[in-house]
Amino acid sequence: MAILNILHYPDERLHKVARPVEIVDDEIRRLVEDMAETMYDAPGIGLAATQVNVHLRVIVIDTSEERNGLCAFINPRIISANGQVLSEEGCLSVPGIYESVDRAEHIVVEALDQDGQPFQIEATGLLANCIQHEIDHLDGKVFVEKLSRLKQSRILNKLKKNHRKTM
Ligand code: GNR
Ligand code: NI
């Protein structure tokens, strides 16, 4: 197991589009384990492979209070989306920034599990928000890019200031 380095916005590599996993093998299962360890250590409720500079369609999520409900989604695909909600989000790649973004309220997602078996889940609430946030990462999109240009430039300034303070 290993804790992986998380890329920070505005790193260009966060804009790469991840490619589908062809075979769910031991290498992918190891990636899932390392991503889970990285997510729990951060701590966060989700992590996309893009954030650890691996450009494959793999995400891990645990929205449980007890931190014992790990879900891995390989090649996740939203097959239906309904309703609309404003969801307050944060991102491990954009530390200290919390903003509301538009999301579908109810989604059905199809993916492969760690054995390469297809499964479907229905999600609402935090889990639905998190899955959409993670799939956006796989498509090279960071949540702040859904905000107004004014908000984005304020966020970039704040991140620059924070970066200077930690140097
Ligand atoms: O830890 C995280 N919290 C969170 C809260 C609301 C909506 C989405 C998220 S995901 C985020 C971890 C992360 O950056 N995943 O990409
Ligand atoms: Ni994120």
**Residue 3 falls inside a structural domain:** no
Ligand closest to 49 (CA) is: 1
145 part of the active site:
no
**Residue 113 falls inside a structural domain:** yes
With a cut of 90, say whether residue 111 has pLDDT above it: yes
Q: From the candidates 66, 88, 134, 145, give the one annotated as an active-site residue.
A: 134
Q: Do the strands 85-89 and 106-112 form a parallel or antiparallel pair, or are they unpaired? A: unpaired
**How far apart are the C-alpha atoms of 76 and 46, rounded to whole Å?**
14
Which value, to the nearest 10 degrees, does the dihedral of the CA atoms of residues 70, 36, 47, 27 take?
A: -110
Count of domains in the chain? 1
pLDDT > 70 fraction of the chain, expressed in percent and rounded: 99
Q: pLDDT tens across 44-99, in order?
A: 999 999 999 999 999 999 999 999 999 999 999 999 999 999 999 999 999 999 99
With a cut of 90, say whether residue 109 has pLDDT above it: yes
**Residue 2 falls inside a structural domain:** no
**Residue 6 falls inside a structural domain:** no
**Residue 5 falls inside a structural domain:** no
Ligand closest to 127 (CA) is: 1
Query: Model's pTM, two decimal places?
Result: 0.97
**Residue 22 falls inside a structural domain:** yes
Q: Which domain holds residue 146?
A: 12-166
- 165 band by pLDDT with thresholds 50, 70 and 90: confident
CB 62 within 8 A of CB 39: yes
- Residue nearest ligand 1's atom 6 by CA: 89
**Residue 1 falls inside a structural domain:** no
Write out the two tokens for 28: 């992918």
Residue 44 in contact with ligand 1 by CB distance below 6 A: yes
CATH code (residue 35): 3.90.45.10
**Residue 7 falls inside a structural domain:** no
Residue found under tokens 């384990």: 33
